[in-house]
Amino acid sequence: MFTAVKLQIALNSGSEVPRRAFGELFLNPFNRIHKCAKVWYCWHVDNGILVLDPTMTAEVIRALNSTLRRRILTLLFEREMNINQISDQLAIPQSTCAVNVQLLEKAGLVRTFQKPASKGLQKMCTTTCRQIVLTLNDSEDRGARNTIVREMPVGLFFDFDVKPSCGLASTEGLIGYNDQPESFLDTHRAKASLAWFADGYIEYRFPFERHLNSRMLSISFSAEICSEFPQHNDSWPSDITLWVNGQDVGTWTSPGDMGDRRGHYTPKWWEDYSTQYGFLKTWTITEQGCMIDGVAVKNTTVRLTNLKIGEPGGFITVRFGIKKDAEYHGGINIFGRGFGNYDQDIRMVIELAI
């Protein structure tokens, strides 16, 4: 029998072996995120994760207790689709498809909306969250924690050292000039929603208010990122490392610079042949160690106390970059609000015990 602090459930087209990390069970985590609807049976929604009270999950359990409905969720995880497209893809009658989509929508797992078509409007479907978390701890334990969330716009970096190909873009257009590192000094950089460079690093400073009566349990940083290649290249690996207060907290290998389809939030002016979206990656540091998307980082001794958060200075430095001795120097794209698949900037989450 397996007992965990929380059970984390998600679906995608892959088939991974369940893995346990620091009191959680992870099953095939999504790589896509949408804002989650606040439905009656969930007690918390954060960062596209639907968190459910174990006594109030009947609608979700019923919705997931169907191979067909799970296949529909898998399709909608990949892209938005209408009822006709879903039924054709799964070779099922449209009436059967419509009924099952309605059940998923009632459970808060699918959202439908109207979208212009060649003749009038068409009803489109999309997923509402990337993960479903069923908490097994009691409400008393949940009440003993407090969460601080801060977001840093992509363009508000403090330091950088980048190599071409490189550039900055806002939701309205390019900032400065392509492949000119000097453009990272442009006074309009604060508006940037996308930054890219072939090698080097970019560094941010997050403000930190010292909570004298609180003990920090964990700190995490999430961002939508991928490799960098002129225009795009879906098979262009890159070893992307995150440093927090100068400490290496883990390297993730991006599979490529993704441009096979348009990003969910990518602005219309951005060319189809250029980078479109990335992967939402989360680095977490606790007293037990470091994790990337809930999986323990190997060969690291960094712990929360090593970061020396709260010492004089009043800020936390966060650096995204490529190590000089990295196996894959494939560059970095960092997406913010208005670009890619995830409507967020670089996010810091601090969990405190109170």
Q: Which residues pair with 225 in a beta bridge?
A: 279, 334
Q: What is the pLDDT along the chain (354 residues), one digit of tens a residue?
A: 333 333 444 444 443 333 333 333 333 333 332 333 333 333 344 445 565 655 556 778 888 889 999 999 988 888 889 999 999 999 999 999 999 999 998 888 888 888 888 878 888 998 877 667 666 654 444 445 588 889 999 999 999 999 999 999 999 999 999 999 999 999 999 999 999 999 999 999 998 876 656 788 999 999 999 999 999 999 999 999 999 999 999 999 999 999 999 998 999 999 999 999 999 999 999 999 999 999 999 888 899 988 888 665 678 999 999 999 999 999 999 999 999 998 899 999 998 886
Q: How far is CA 76 from CA 13, 34, 79, in A?
A: 11, 11, 5
Using CA atoms, how far apart are residues 221 and 285, in angstroms rounded to an integer?
9
Alpha-carbon dihedral angle through residues 57, 40, 147, 4, given to the nearest 10 degrees: 0
100 phi and psi, to 5 degrees?
-70, -35
Closest CA to 206 of 197, 193, 219: 219
Closest CA to 323 of 221, 223, 234, 253: 253
Give, for 101, the enclosing helix (H) or strand (E). helix 94-106
| Conformational region of residue 340, where left means phi above 0, alpha means psi within -120 to 50, and beta covers everything else | left
* 6-135 and 144-353 in the same fold: no
In this structure, are residues 162 and 202 in contact, taking their beta carbons and an 8 Å threshold?
Answer: yes
Alpha-carbon dihedral angle through residues 155, 159, 161, 167, given to the nearest 10 degrees: 10
In this structure, are residues 327 and 239 in contact, taking their beta carbons and an 8 Å threshold?
Answer: yes
Domain residue extents for the chain: 6-135, 144-353
Which of the four CATH numbers 3.90.1150.10, 1.10.10.10, 1.10.1370.30, 1.20.140.10 does domain 6-135 have? 1.10.10.10
Using CA atoms, how far apart are residues 11 and 71, in angstroms rounded to an integer?
9
Contacts of 88 (CB under 8 A, 6+ apart): none
In this structure, are residues 224 and 277 in contact, taking their beta carbons and an 8 Å threshold?
Answer: yes
Name the architecture of domain 144-353: Sandwich (2.60)
Three-state DSSP class for residue 94: helix
